[in-house]
């Protein structure tokens, strides 16, 4: 197997290996955070006691690695490259060179991110959401100079790579379907990858713009996100004009919420497919499932404000974003009902991928039911930034998301390794 290959399956395996590396590092970081919470004064060999900035850098890197390099790459870029062309009767992805460029840009992005651990000041400390001015001013904390620069460059590269992959997926699905593979016959996995690719090209370009603007605030004398007259560490900031931190929140979450669906839609598609396969029956209400996939993607673009209920928006905005957010619960519920209907009286084969998929359904329900609680602005204003929210998105993204990755890995293992699991 060549390392530099433009064959879609090799590229898919490349993405899965990249996700595997990132998930290993990200999990070690979360273990470190937990150990630190239990024994805050522990003297770590080679490192010493964990300082507050070390902890925050671990939080930032954990979130960035998991959201971008695991949950975006494996389900979307990884599995789609592995099987999408075959599922629509095509020999290749439409743009093999762009595909390879996407993978290697992602690798570069990962290396840039990881290098932030080793620069003076360490990794950035402002979390994976990088709210300015904390993320825009070197004086705001250790890790907020070179570390933050590297984070921004890494995210910029990742946006470019994801857009390449998204564009490739779109072109492949639209142009490369074999004769007879009509829209109404496409597997739900392909519908999911298509919807996620559509979201990818829309929202990653917005994130790219935001990262570029923040980088300009650092190095080009602009003030998109930093207001005038800040006083940091007793020093008045005279470098910046009249920027608005809220602008970053809007741009970031316009990306951030659809990102959740980019991570979970492929898992939903795979679950529909696997449950039907191992229950040995067709997918009930197949067309409904296409509609719900598209609806989740579409509505996903209109809910970013539910991350900003305490950010000082006009209270009317709270009501509007509550409505759009609750609206997403409806197609999501339809999917869950559909899975339950597939399983009802099916006596399925309990193979390994089937077990992971059943776990996906269970965890998706558990994470999903906390959604309509958080969608209520008055309740969210109490729960915002608490462990309730952390649990909510970890159940959906980390747990359900990772279960679907395992389902895919075990199901397509022969394609990856050339042999069956025993």
Q: Under rule CB under 8 A, which residues in 226-265 are in contact with another protein? A: 227-234, 236-237, 242-246
Site string for Cu ion, 247-286 (x = CB under 5 A): ----------x-----------------------------
Q: How far apart are CA 325 and CA 370, in angstroms?
A: 12
Partner whose footprint covers residue 257, from another protein, Cu ion, none (CB < 5 to 8 Å by kind): Cu ion
Nearer to Cu ion, 257 or 394 (CB): 257
* Conformational region of residue 234, where left means phi above 0, alpha means psi within -120 to 50, and beta covers everything else: left
Question: Minimum distance from CB of 402 to another protein (Å)?
Answer: 20
Question: Minimum distance from CB of 78 to another protein (Å)?
Answer: 28
Nearer to another protein, 180 or 234 (CB): 234
Q: Under rule CB under 8 A, which residues in 325-344 are in contact with another protein? A: 326, 329-330, 333-334, 336-338, 340-341, 343-344
The number of beta carbons lying within 10 Å of the beta carbon of residue 322 is: 21
Q: Under rule CB under 8 A, which residues in 363-382 are in contact with another protein? A: 365-366, 369-370, 372-373, 375-379, 381-382
Residue 33 within binding range of another protein, rule CB under 8 A: no
Q: Which of 181, 217, 154, 205 is nearest to 84 (CA)?
A: 181
The C-alpha angle 403, 408, 22, rounded to 5 degrees, equals 65
Nearer to Cu ion, 9 or 257 (CB): 257
Q: How far apart are CA 223 and CA 228, in angstroms?
A: 9
| The only residue of 48, 221, 312, 414 in contact with another protein, by rule CB under 8 A | 312
Helix (H/G/I), strand (E/B), else coil: 277: helix
- Given CA atoms 275, 276, 281, 282 in this order, what sign does their dihedral have? positive
| The only residue of 361, 397, 400, 405 in contact with another protein, by rule CB under 8 A | 361
Residue 311 within binding range of another protein, rule CB under 8 A: yes
Structure tokens, 57: 């850098």
| DSSP category for residue 51 | P
| Site size toward another protein, by CB under 8 A | 78
Residue 125 within binding range of another protein, rule CB under 8 A: yes
Alpha helices in 52-187 (DSSP H): 52-64, 79-87, 96-115, 146-175
């Amino acid at each position: 197997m060549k390392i530099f290959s433009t064959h879609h399956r090799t590229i898919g395996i490349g993405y899965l290996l990249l996700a595997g590396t990132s998930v290993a590092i990200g999990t070690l970081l979360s273990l470190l955070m937990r150990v630190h919470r239990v024994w805050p004064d522990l003297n770590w060999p080679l490192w010493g006691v964990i300082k507050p900035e070390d902890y925050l850098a671990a939080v930032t890197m954990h979130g960035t690695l998991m959201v971008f390099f695991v949950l975006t790459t494996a389900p979307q870029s990884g599995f789609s490259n592995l099987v999408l062309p075959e599922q629509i009767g095509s020999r290749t992805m439409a743009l093999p060179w762009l595909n390879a460029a996407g993978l290697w840009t992602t690798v570069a992005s990962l290396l840039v991110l990881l290098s932030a651990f080793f620069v003076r000041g360490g990794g950035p400390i402002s979390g994976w959401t990088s709210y300015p001015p904390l993320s825009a001013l070197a004086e705001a904390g250790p890790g907020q100079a070179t570390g933050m620069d590297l984070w921004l460059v890494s995210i910029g590269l990742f946006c470019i790579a994801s857009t390449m992959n998204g564009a490739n997926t779109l072109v492949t699905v639209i142009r490369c379907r074999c004769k007879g593979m009509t829209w109404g016959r496409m597997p739900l996995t392909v519908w999911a990858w298509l919807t996620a690719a559509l979201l990818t090209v829309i929202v990653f370009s917005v994130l790219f713009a935001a990262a570029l603007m923040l980088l300009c605030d650092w190095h080009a004398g602009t003030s998109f996100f930093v207001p005038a007259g800040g006083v940091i560490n007793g020093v008045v900031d005279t470098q910046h004009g009249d920027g608005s931190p809220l602008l970053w929140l809007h741009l970031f979450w316009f990306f951030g919420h659809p990102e959740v669906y980019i991570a979970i839609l492929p898992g939903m598609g795979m679950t529909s497919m696997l449950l039907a396969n191992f229950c040995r029956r067709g997918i009930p209400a197949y067309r409904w499932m296409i509609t719900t996939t598209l609806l989740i993607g579409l509505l996903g673009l209109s809910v970013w404000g539910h991350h900003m209920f305490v950010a000082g928006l006009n209270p009317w905005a709270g009501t509007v974003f509550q409505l759009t957010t609750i609206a997403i619960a409806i197609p999501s519920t339809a999917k869950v009902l559909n899975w339950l209907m597939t399983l009802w009286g099916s006596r399925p084969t309990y193979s390994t991928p089937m077990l992971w998929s059943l776990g996906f359904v269970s965890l998706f329900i558990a994470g999903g039911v906390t959604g309509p609680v958080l969608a209520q602005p008055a309740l969210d204003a109490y729960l915002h930034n608490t462990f309730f929210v952390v649990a909510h998105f970890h159940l959906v993204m980390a747990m359900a998301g990772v279960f679907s990755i395992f389902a895919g890995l075990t199901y397509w293992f022969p394609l990856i390794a050339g042999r069956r699991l025993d």
